[in-house]
Chains A and B, each alone.
Chain A
């Protein structure tokens, strides 16, 4: 338990718009460095909310989130953006890519936001897309790609700034089983390179490859399962 890269303390999120929705309640969670973990649970029970809080995309109502020793709830919006830029890579379920940019540009933009000069952006984005097998689609637009290809672009982009942590929200949610297993291969490849990967998923195929599974129900951490394959 010594090397936990992500740690939450009594994490609670209540959405207030007109009426209160309790999305998360006192979640204590620890995720080891270099692990491949899954978050599972019924729909609407707080999985995405948890992922967003871990990734510094949103702020909890109470409780804390630690990335290594950094308390994400104690830093300002600018620092938080910085953390998202350098330490975390996101892959969302549906909408990941900017439609007016090419595949290559979609990856370059993550590097641009990190301050990488254009020429270097170009090379690195090309390498990353080769890694996910899209070297022949560099100039394609997102709407010319299949769902699986789009997710691969998103994975390539999430790796752009060499983050420690990869957060994926139902990455295979709208993929067929063949695309899903291709995606899983990519994810395992990334994990083997030392990245900590956290996947929100409903898919048993995905959860099979995970080292750990966290079950979320009614906004609480119900159970935590170690998986040795």
Chain B
């Protein structure tokens, strides 16, 4: 007989109680793991995406909310609302380059793909695109695609692509950029506007300024000339982080509440167990068990709840992150939380943190009950009816 064996035997005596207590911790740890694995590298990811956009200012229709502003970065479908007249007014300002975007969606083989209508030449210069295969031709009959799209759907130059019932020739494939640009089908702006029936409107305008110190003035000038709103890339990041922060705080609250509830579950379970085993504790004491021995027997039992609950919680949390991530990604509000680079399944740091936290909480929860057990007087325990 060893102490470990004794603790294990005690732990699993009441199977259902054991199960539900473990379940309690597992839920807490699972939500923690989900939070941690969805949250890793979040801020860096947001910054990267705003850099990819390559603009210092983004011109949007008036009255866009933060969620819509974020979509500029995530490539979600946007309401088209800036008429050509405004685009021209913005473009005519000296010292800035205005790049209009019309963001739409289509499907290839039933999978949603982003379609962006652009002005071919300005965009190419602005983004510094290189052509991998074929030629860079965007007009009424031809289009180009990003590198990853071509790879994912096994597209070759010369292929026919049907968008909204119109057939296009795939004239070129862009060189890999290593960002979201690789995941887009590019159409000529006017063609796209006709195809999607949006008149002469665009979704937003990315603006690059020549003199970065005068961003404020440019921003004002744009808003004076055209009936639009302007956000800087810094503001954009800020509003993204604010939303992400809210989501994260909510998740953290849920995790905290779940873990707290689990801790009370352990305390409850242990106090009940001690009450039931009063006589056994008395016998252990009569046999020479010291207070310290009794204390640690019960503390280890609590700690084991933490270990078992932690393992189950980790598995559940990873499973959830794994299966839920694609769905989270589809929602534009949480696109950042779930974008592929931010979900790290089986991250060692996450495993370590979650296990440590689980065992720590279980031990803390176990201290009071174990202390109570160790304080029992042997006689009281034995004469207990």
Contact = CB atoms under 8 A, between A and B. Distances in A.
Given A78-B291, A84-B287, 20 more contacts: A52-B378, A58-B377, A78-B290, A78-B292, A81-B285, A81-B290, A84-B286, A85-B288, A92-B286, A92-B382, A100-B10, A100-B13, A101-B6, A101-B9, A108-B1, A110-B287, A110-B288, A112-B2, A114-B288, A161-B288
Interface in B271-296: 279-280, 283-293
B1 A86 contact: no
Given A100-B9, A101-B9, A157 B287 contact: yes
A121 interface: yes
Interface of A: 48, 52, 55, 57-58, 77-78, 81-82, 84-86, 90, 92, 95-101, 105, 108-114, 118, 121, 157, 161
A77 B13 CA distance: 29
B379 interface: yes
B127 interface: no
A116 B122 CA distance: 84
A77 B375 CA distance: 10
Nearest to A98: B280
B3 A112 contact: yes
A86 B291 CA distance: 16
Given A77-B291, A78-B290, A95 B285 contact: no
Nearest to A122: B1
Contacts of B293: 113
A12 B6 CA distance: 37
Given A100-B9, A161-B288, A109 B1 contact: yes
A131 B285 CA distance: 25
Contacts of B2: 112, 118
Interface of B: 1-3, 6, 9-10, 13, 279-280, 283-293, 377-379, 382-383
A58 B6 contact: no
B279 A55 contact: no
Given A92-B382, A108-B1, A121-B1, A57 B13 contact: no
A92 B285 CA distance: 13
15 contacts: A57-B379, A77-B290, A81-B289, A84-B288, A90-B286, A95-B283, A96-B283, A99-B280, A100-B9, A100-B10, A109-B287, A111-B1, A112-B1, A112-B3, A161-B288
A99 B14 CA distance: 13
A114 B289 CA distance: 8
Contact of A84 (B1, B3, B285, B292): B285
Best-surrounded residue of A78, A98, A108, A121 (most CB of chain B within 10 A): A98
Given A86-B288, A110-B288, A112-B2, A58 B9 contact: no
B218 to A, nearest CB: 77
A96 B279 CA distance: 9
Contacts of B288: 81-82, 84-86, 110, 113-114, 161
